[in-house]
């Protein structure tokens, strides 16, 4: 099943001529977004010099809830080392995002991308998609689709190097 999902994501990616392809070694695009409470977050400005996990998700995504809980566990172990996590919701409204985040109980911030503009800037073609951005603002790795806690932990540790 994982293989089929990956093949479908790759096929979708190859059909999309308009979205930029953000790869390892590229500079992570800057953005400003709003949290459900109305506070504005700017990347990289608010996170300059810190490693950041940027997670694109939606509440209808089959893998997103479980993985966001796994990311929370990694975040709790690595935040004392400066790791930051931004969970960018692609295409849903404030109420949906707030309810989902309350229900799953993660402590890192959710950001609204109601028109999926940030997701397009990052070249996201499927959910979940996670970028691991170094303190220098460069994408160190990317995970598209389902992953386990060990994978998230490994990528987070690589950001510390």
**CATH code where residue 146 lies:** 3.40.30.10
Domain tally, the chain: 1
Residue 148 has pLDDT above 50, yes or no: yes
pTM score over 0.85: yes
- Its domain, for residue 120, covers 2-159
User: What is the predicted pLDDT for the residue at 150?
Assistant: 96
Task: Look at 38 and 19; give whichever has higher pLDDT.
Answer: 38
pLDDT at res. 161: 74
DSSP assignment of 61-74 equals: -TTHHHHHHHHHHH
pLDDT tens, position by position, 38-55: 999 999 999 999 999 999
Percent of the chain with pLDDT over 70: 88
pLDDT the model gives residue 48: 94
């Amino acid at each position: 099943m994982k293989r089929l999902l990956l093949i479908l994501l790759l096929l979708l990616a190859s059909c999309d001529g308009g979205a930029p392809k953000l790869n390892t070694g590229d500079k992570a695009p800057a953005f400003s977004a709003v949290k459900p409470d109305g506070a504005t977050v700017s990347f990289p400005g608010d996170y300059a010099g810190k490693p950041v996990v940027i997670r694109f998700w939606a509440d209808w995504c089959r893998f997103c809830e479980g993985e966001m809980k796994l990311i929370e566990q990694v975040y709790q172990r690595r935040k004392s080392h400066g790791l930051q996590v931004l969970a960018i919701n692609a295409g849903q409204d404030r109420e949906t995002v707030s309810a989902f985040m309350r229900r799953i109980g993660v402590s890192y911030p959710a950001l609204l991308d109601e028109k999926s503009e940030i997701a397009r800037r990052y070249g996201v073609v499927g959910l979940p998609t996670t970028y691991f951005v170094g303190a220098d603002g460069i994408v160190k790795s990317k995970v598209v689709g389902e992953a386990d806690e060990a994978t998230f932990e490994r990528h987070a540790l690589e950001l510390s190097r």
